[in-house]
Amino acid sequence: MKVEILLSTYNGERFLESQLDSLLHQTYKDWVCIIRDDGSTDSTISIIEKYINNYPDHFRLLPDREHVGWKESFRRLIYQCQAEYAFFCDQDDIWNEYKIEVMLGCVKALELDGTVPVLCICDLCVIDESGDRVFDSYWECKKEDTYDFWPDAVFYNSYPGMSMAMNRAFLDVIRPMPSEMPHDWWCTLNAVLLKGFYKIPVKLGCYRSHKGNVEGLKVLGWRLLLYYLRCINLPIKYVKESCRMIEYLIDRGDLQRYDPNRLQEVLILYKILKRTPILRKIILLFSRHISPTSFLRKLGWFLFV
């Protein structure tokens, strides 16, 4: 199969059928959706089985149903992937009918003979639980339209997995991958170090934002700093996860595949972050190092590092 759509489900009965229907409406038809359920206790499995029975060529359910959390669930899906191209899929979003066709075309145009690792992302509109539009552009509401991938992807996870498409060469780069780490952030970090990350400035899906993360998406301007002050564990969590990913990259080896200049910058930052808290802040204040593009993210990151 040329394209595999990697879908992790967990108690998704409310929105799952809308997502699966949007996959069936794709203009590009040579795909199969590989589903891993994370131990659902609602009617999710019966919904999946209905689609498998009706469309056996398009949907497959993995036998593994251990409840391991969404991070590990996607990690296991990535290890299962055998296709030439892969897309991540969330159970509560909706895809534009041209999503696979457009993104696959972009990946193919950039991969040359298939040996160049490529990760493409598209923009999205944001909808609420009722399906009403909240924001016209995911990038604009998070201010990601004005920032480059580098070096921001080192510091926080900006782009949801459902906006991503990749080729086999890129899948080979991200495997093996660390446990308990967001799959989309891991992909983004690898892509920026490879210089193989590309934006498609077209909205090709609807990202469903539930009550909690709708508020998070509305955090702009100086409210970002106030948000950090209220959620002080968030930037600390980001720093720890960033360190874990960089450490995993180092331990895994094969560093020669990455852009040497960007890799060197990341290794310098990693050595700084391994210092004691006080010494770390002093070095960060007076030394040359990469930092988030946004001044407010830079300030919030420094305050809580």
pLDDT tens profile 99-109: 999 999 999 99
Distance separating alpha carbons of residues 146 and 205, to the nearest angstrom? 20
| Average pLDDT value over all residues in the chain | 90
- Per residue in 44-57, pLDDT (tens digit) is 999 999 999 999 99
The CA radius of gyration of the chain, in Å to the nearest whole number, is 19
> Could you tell me if 152 and 292 are in contact, meaning their C-beta atoms sit under 8 angstroms apart?
yes
- Binned at pLDDT 50, 70 and 90, residue 297 comes out as confident
Distance separating alpha carbons of residues 22 and 92, to the nearest angstrom? 11
- Per residue in 153-177, pLDDT (tens digit) is 998 888 999 999 999 999 999 999 9
Give the model's pLDDT for residue 154.
92
What average pLDDT does this structure show over 278-286?
A: 90
Give the model's pLDDT for residue 114.
85
- Per residue in 119-130, pLDDT (tens digit) is 999 999 999 998
pLDDT greater at residue 289 or residue 74? 74
- Per residue in 172-191, pLDDT (tens digit) is 999 999 998 999 999 999 99
Distance separating alpha carbons of residues 187 and 201, to the nearest angstrom? 19
Task: Using the predicted structure, report yes or no on whether residue 217 has a pLDDT greater than 50.
Answer: yes
Distance separating alpha carbons of residues 100 and 199, to the nearest angstrom? 15
- Binned at pLDDT 50, 70 and 90, residue 196 comes out as very high
Give the model's pLDDT for residue 268.
94
Residue 48 contacts by C-beta under 8 Å, 6 or more apart in sequence? Answer: 9, 16, 35, 37, 59, 61
Counting Cβ atoms within 10 Å, is residue 110 exposed (0-12), middle (13-18) or buried (19+)? middle
> Could you tell me if 266 and 189 are in contact, meaning their C-beta atoms sit under 8 angstroms apart?
no
- Count of CB atoms situated within 10 Å of the CB of 210: 11
What average pLDDT does this structure show over 61-75?
A: 97
What average pLDDT does this structure show over 200-217?
A: 76
Task: Using the predicted structure, report yes or no on whether residue 212 has a pLDDT greater than 80.
Answer: no
Give the model's pLDDT for residue 143.
74
Catalogue all structural domains in the chain, each as residue range(s) with its CATH number: 3-216 (3.90.550.10), 220-304 (no CATH)
- Per residue in 74-86, pLDDT (tens digit) is 999 999 999 999 9
Distance separating alpha carbons of residues 153 and 157, to the nearest angstrom? 6
